Amino acid sequence: MVRSVFEFALICCLALPASVAAQDAKPSPRKNAPAPASQTSSYNPYRAVHDVEVGKFYLRRGDYDGAIARFKEALLYKDNYAEPRMLLGEAYEKKNDPSTALRYYQEYLKILPESPHSKDVKERVARLKEKLRKDAADSRRQENFFRKLRARS
């Protein structure tokens, strides 16, 4: 019995270097490695949910660019998915990009106008529209001020 175990171990040890050499000669792609979303455009709701969960993690950590990338990737796998649109609005709002945030919030409301979050999203939309209106008015005031200043010189 001990001899047969020893012989088996010896055979495995001798065969192992040959199998490693064969693997080195011919590299194989990683097994179970997901293809990048840019290479696929198929419907994959599980991958979309996974990307949203990872994006939420990034959002909580303050990595807004990472969160945005994951939420956009989720939309590649499930284009009618409302949740990443709401979260994209939130991420862009935190990045101080109100026009892009407004666009994603409005897309969310088109898909799910009566969702549990729709009241909150509608309030955000109203607040962002007001902010954009005020920013536009401030910008016009500044332009007029500098135009008058240049006219005086």
pLDDT tens readout for residues 33-49: 455 555 556 899 999 99
pLDDT tens, position by position, 9-30: 545 554 545 444 444 444 444 4
Tell me how far apart the alpha carbons of residues 108 and 16 are, in angstroms, rounded to a whole number.
56
Q: Stretch 81-105: mean pLDDT, rounded?
A: 97
CATH code for the domain in which residue 100 is found? 1.25.40.10
Structural domain contains residue 147: yes
Task: Give burial (CB, 10 Å; 0-12/13-18/19+) of 131.
Answer: middle
Structural domain contains residue 143: yes
**Chain center to CA of 9:** 49
Residue that wins the pLDDT comparison between 140 and 117: 117
Tell me how far apart the alpha carbons of residues 47 and 54 are, in angstroms, rounded to a whole number.
11
pLDDT tens, position by position, 115-135: 999 999 999 999 999 999 999
pLDDT tens, position by position, 51-61: 999 999 999 99
* Number of structural domains the chain divides into: 1
Q: If we measure between CA atoms, which residue out of 94, 54, 92, 60 comes closest to residue 74?
A: 54
- Domain span at residue 139 reads 41-152
Structural domain contains residue 20: no
Residue that wins the pLDDT comparison between 71 and 3: 71
Structural domain contains residue 107: yes
- pLDDT at position 144 is 83
- pLDDT at position 27 is 44
The average confidence (pLDDT) of the chain is 82
Share of the chain above pLDDT 90, in %: 61
Q: Stretch 102-110: mean pLDDT, rounded?
A: 97
Specify the DSSP class assigned to residue 25: H
- pLDDT at position 142 is 85
In this structure, are residues 89 and 108 in contact, taking their beta carbons and an 8 Å threshold? yes
Structural domain contains residue 6: no
In this structure, are residues 51 and 73 in contact, taking their beta carbons and an 8 Å threshold? yes
